[in-house]
Structure 1
Amino acid sequence: MKRLFVAMPYGERKAPLDYEEPDKTCVIDFDAVWTGILQPAIPPGYQTKRADELRQPGLIDRMYNEWLFDADIVLADLTFGNPNVYYELGIRQALSKKGTVLVACKGSKLPFDVRNQYVINYDYFAAPALRAFQADLRQAIENASTLEMDSPVHVFLPGLSIGRYLGEKSPEAKVQELSLKIRALEDALRDQRSQDTEDRLLDKIRAAATPSRVLSLYQLVSTRDIKSTRLLEQLAISLRDASYFDEAIRTLDRALEIAPDDPELLREIGFVCRKKGPLFHAQAETYMLRALELNDRDSELHGMLGGLLRRRGDYEGALIHYRRAHELQPHDLYPIVTVGAMCGALGKLAEAKEWYGKLQTTCERLIEQKHADHWTFLCLGEAATALGQQEAALAAYRRALEMKPPIEHVLSEIEMLEFLVERHFAAEDALCALPILRQYTESQRS
């Protein structure tokens, strides 16, 4: 007589079918599943043994392994992700090439390890659907009994030979080794589930469209043991963009505990401190200089540090970093425009106009090549302002605003024009351009 071993939970259990939705639980009586759903579908001629029937005094491990190794068919119910069932399934697929049939309650979300294997779903809550399931299960058991090889382990390792008493080790020692391997697989599965969860969180953070949504995700992440610095950095950037500076700094502090010498994290926390206000500028400079020690070829970081020094009135220091940014990225518009502004602020008028002329030429080339965006036209407007071309400046700014640029980009350009006015460089033309930019920001805020 053929033997069929059943690995499944027993008794009444309450748990979520989807491990990603732990609050949505349901109750299943697995004794009823066995007697009313699974057992009637087993073809005649099988001696069946359910796992809980082996829970008796004696060498339990040995009895388990005898059935898992020798049974012609193992029927495994994966509902609720029961660790005992997965343990028994792992042993079966490692030890035996014989047939294994997988079932689960409809709605169960299975881990990635078994998603590529054929699983037959029964509907515990819909009795009329059970006959079709039982027919499918009966056919699957009959088919599995004729397959030469069923285990994915033995498909992957076709030359693998398993015997009870082969080699120098006792069966108990071999089972212990397998148990350790299964625990390692369970650890890997937990790590993968954690990674999957973090990947989904990262997608949600990137898609967050409102400050309240960003703050809600921050509160969620704060309750979890996140190990991904990429996720924490993206969350901090979203918080910074939503002006939640304290929350952004706390998030970056968590990331720096994981990777204290990551220049990207140091750069970002420095930028957040700079955005937070003048009282935190010294702290911002410390973080940025540390990031530069680790990566001096970060042109954007040189630009950030230049912006910080400019706000602190250190125009010579700012010019040094803006020039370095231009050396690293000679075709980037930002270093060109900021070098021009610093030269103008320092009274180097001829050199300032030379840089703004270079900026104008670069912007016009991008426009001719149809590669221009709103930032191109904002820079072109500033170049024309600095060169005394008032009408051209206004036309460029109007063209930029027609593209509906982000309000923070327009505010940055307003800040630069106000800086030119403050430093008495192209002040009259800058004052003429400021109203249309301010009007745009006011309309967007309203």
Structure 2
Amino acid sequence: MMKEKTCFVIMGYGIRTDFSSGRVLDLDKTYENIIKPAVTEMGIICKRADEIRHSGNIDIPMYKYILTSDIVIADLSTYNPNAFYELGVRHALRPYTTIAISEKELIPPFDVSHTLIYQYEHLGKDIGYSEVIRFKKELQKTINKILENPQVDSPVYTFLKDLKFPELKFLDQQNVNDEGIQHTLSKIIENANHAMNQSNFIEAKALFRSALTIDNKNSYLRQRLALTTYKSKYPDHKSALLEALETLRPLNIEETHDVETLGLAGAIYKRLWEETKESIYLDKSIMFYQKGFVIQNDYYNGINLSYMLNERGYQSSGNDAIADFVLAKRVRMQVIKICQKLLDSDLENRNDKYWILATLEEAFFGLGELEKYKTIKKRAEEVANGNWQKETTENQIKRLEMLLTKSPLISD
């Protein structure tokens, strides 16, 4: 019986930030919508590191897959240093059947500039349907080509022509998989996300903590653990928020340029302000949201920054209040431009379309453009996945309405 071919995929998972541009990409969309379907439709087993069953150190089975897989696909998007390193390991171990890909805005570093990199378009939160179809076909065509006629694609074997690539002895005895000892990391994450969707944040927190013990340097898992920790409100709301803050500390929140981390820190301090009314938390929340907005120019950090500026303006008086309300107004105007640009692009294929519309809804309300607010609100309600989304938006707008009663710009 012919052995099934395998493909190992080198890439990050979850939501990652490209620090060169500040863009945030959901790499799971690339894997789940393009890479894995393209490979499995060809009858090839497809594995990513988070899908490997293992006990102990994940590096051991990962390196075995890098060496022994018939094909390796390396997605270099977001300049992920682990992906570049693992691509280098593959190039050192195997002369051919390695495919490098990336989203189209990546500018490759000099050392991989001579490597052919197939590019696709990523929208950030999602990938458009037509692009999924196009790149799947291109990937399948490339896989067929390199399997039928393998050519040296490793720069190591290109320049060191007499180099012989290694083979792993006793592979059968040193099985790559360890079925039945542990769930795969991807399964733990899947269960954790399911628990989150069911608002079972205590269970989700336990699962993300378990995932982090497997991959303890993964920023995405730490971010999700922080999120579920403060959402759990256990043992009480303030304690959960402070624990979530400590969970984020290893990501160097005071210095980071990761907009997901900045947005989470802003959200935690926002809730600490609401819980305690201590001004230090209010100022910290504004600082983190503002930094995220400057880096990313995104609607999430922008709409929350404008809201928190109104919170501070409400607590202040005189010129300080005027300054915060003016800045909040300007940020909202910028947020509207960001959201309208997204509305004019590929909105229907985005998984965050409700939040784009809800952000626009809140921004129009905050600027007093009530007819536009009502129109967008109706659109947002039509695409909401559940009452909790609408309730979240309505609660913030209700609070905003109260804050605006003290606006020194009311005559505007």
State the TM-score, normalized to the length of structure 1.
0.44
Question: Which of the pair has the greater relative contact order for Cα pairs under 8 Å at 6+ separation?
Answer: 2
Greater helix proportion: 1
